[in-house]
Amino acid sequence: MLNPLAHSKVERVNMPRTLKYEMKVRQNGDTWRVCGIGVSKDGNTWCHLASTTRFRKQRNGDCPIQIQTWVKGLPVNPEYVGESNV
């Protein structure tokens, strides 16, 4: 007798990663630390990132290069941008 579970396919759902503060992400060939998390749209989230590898010199020490950009993933409690609140 054949095992019915042996022939069933397991469907993998492609879930976006969960973004958290202080998490490290790869973006544009660099490693960044998530400093701020904004709104989400189409599986991406607007984030404030600080580089972990590139810095600029200041009198009081090195300051990381910072950017704001869309990052793949969703925060723990996403705030979506939709047609009603654009």
Q: What is the 3-state secondary structure (H, E, C) of 16-74?
A: CCEECCCCEEEECCEEEEEEEEEEEECCEEEEEEEEEEEEEEECCEEEEEEEEEEEECE
Domain count, the chain: 1
pLDDT (tens digit per residue) in 36-50: 999 989 889 999 999
Is 84 a member of any domain?
no
User: Residue 85's pLDDT is what?
Assistant: 47
Is 36 a member of any domain?
yes
Tell me the pTM: 0.73
Q: What share of the chain has pLDDT > 70, as a percent?
A: 72
Is 51 a member of any domain?
yes
Is 9 a member of any domain?
no
Does 83 score more than 80 pLDDT? no
Does 69 score more than 80 pLDDT? yes
Is 24 a member of any domain?
yes
Structural domain boundaries enclosing 33: 18-76
Is 41 a member of any domain?
yes
